[in-house]
């Protein structure tokens, strides 16, 4: 169980590094798409280094005027 936990932590650290290299953490606007892209990139971890480039598109309904 300890080894699995360690592997999960390493996986997420590598995913966080991939998101940081793509400059996903920079900028002030944190909309739905950006947060989703950061989450998917972090979770997909090392797969990013073999060419996977996950992106999320969000369509949030706008309030009526």
Tens place of pLDDT for every residue, the chain, 65 residues?
899 999 999 999 998 998 888 888 887 777 887 888 888 888 888 887 888 777 777 777 777 76
Task: For the full predicted model, state whether its pTM sits above 0.75.
Answer: no
Is 37 inside any structural domain?
A: yes
- Tally of domains in the chain: 1
- Looking at residue 65, its pLDDT comes to 66
Please answer whether residues 14 and 45 qualify as being in contact, where contact means their C-beta atoms are separated by less than 8 angstroms: yes
Is 63 inside any structural domain?
A: no
Is 55 inside any structural domain?
A: no
- Looking at residue 18, its pLDDT comes to 87
Q: Which residues contact 30 (CB under 8 A, 6 or more apart)?
A: none
Range of the domain at 37: 2-50
Please answer whether residues 52 and 44 qualify as being in contact, where contact means their C-beta atoms are separated by less than 8 angstroms: yes
């Amino acid at each position: 169980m300890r080894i699995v936990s360690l592997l999960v932590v390493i996986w997420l650290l590598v995913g966080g590094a991939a998101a940081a290299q793509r400059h996903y953490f920079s900028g002030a606007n944190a909309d739905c798409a950006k947060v989703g892209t950061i989450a998917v990139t972090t979770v997909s971890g090392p797969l990013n280094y073999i060419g996977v480039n996950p992106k999320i598109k969000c369509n949030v309904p706008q309030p009526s005027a």
